[in-house]
Amino acid sequence: MMRTLVYLFDVKRGNIWRAVSHMQSDRARLKSHPDVEFFKLLGTGTGETFTPRDANMYRWGMLVNIDESKVDQFDIGSIISGWRKFSDNEMRLTLAPIAAHGSWSGRQPFEIQTNFQWDGAVVAITRATIKWRKNMMFWRAVPPVISSLRNSPGLEMAIGIGEAPIGLQGTLSIWRDSQSIRAFAYKDPAHAAVITETAKQGWYRDELFARFALIEKRGSISPD
């Protein structure tokens, strides 16, 4: 059975250069890793505007799909151990995909478990490749949605994630339960307005929304 792991690292002051170096070198190492089915190396930010000024240069992330039997081995391997050498805090989310639609780098990477019953905490990951000429329109539409998101009942944490400073943007959020995220997704007026505008304006080249059961949350990261 596949699991999705999300790591977040708060790097120590003065170690940004080491984080950037690992973002470059780990790409090749993960690509050739025999147990990793899919991966993304991620910068993070507040997610307030989805522009470079949101970026948190002291927090970096990694998402990997890996067989459940290989999780512990990966966790003590050289890639993760390397990050621990210059990090103050670390959070690991172990996830089981519940639902997903859309694509990420041209594929739908998450193995959805059928007939999977879950009433605990859930994690949502949204990401999109924004068309360059649509960036300004997208940025103008974001603040009301983020404000609603931050004030949504049942939200436990939300951060911005990105594969690049501009154009490859997303969010990772943790919710108390599935009912909480559904209420935001389908009943929040600001969110509904952006969904309508997205369809009308065609902001994205591709997009993905995925929802996961939060099997385990280990460690913590510092407050923004």
Domain assignment of residue 28, given as a range = 2-219
Residue 197 lies in a domain: yes
Taking the C-alpha atoms of residue 223 and residue 79, their distance in angstroms, rounded to an integer, is 25
In 76-223 the beta strands, taken as DSSP E runs, fall at 87-102, 122-130, 155-162, 168-175, 204-220
Residue 70 lies in a domain: yes
- In terms of phi and psi (left: phi > 0; alpha: psi -120 to 50; beta: otherwise), the region of 74 is alpha
How confident is the model at residue 175, as a pLDDT? 94
Whole-prediction pTM: 0.86
**Low-confidence stretches of the chain (pLDDT beneath 50):** 132, 143, 165-168
How confident is the model at residue 127, as a pLDDT? 83
CA neighbor of 56 nearest in space, from 67, 45, 71, 64: 45
Q: State the DSSP H helix or E strand holding residue 40, giving kind and residue range, or none if neither.
A: strand 36-45
Residue 111 lies in a domain: yes
Residue 158 lies in a domain: yes
Burial class (CB in 10 A: 0-12, 13-18, 19+), 1: exposed
Domain total of the chain? 1
Taking the C-alpha atoms of residue 168 and residue 180, their distance in angstroms, rounded to an integer, is 26
How confident is the model at residue 20, as a pLDDT? 93
Taking the C-alpha atoms of residue 19 and residue 58, their distance in angstroms, rounded to an integer, is 8
Write the pLDDT tens digit of every residue in 18-58: 999 999 999 999 999 999 999 999 999 865 555 566 788 99
Beta strand 2-11 pairing with 122-130: unpaired
What CATH number should be reported for the domain holding residue 106?
Answer: 3.30.70.100
Taking the C-alpha atoms of residue 87 and residue 179, their distance in angstroms, rounded to an integer, is 35
To 5 degrees, how large is the angle CA 50–CA 98–CA 30? 65
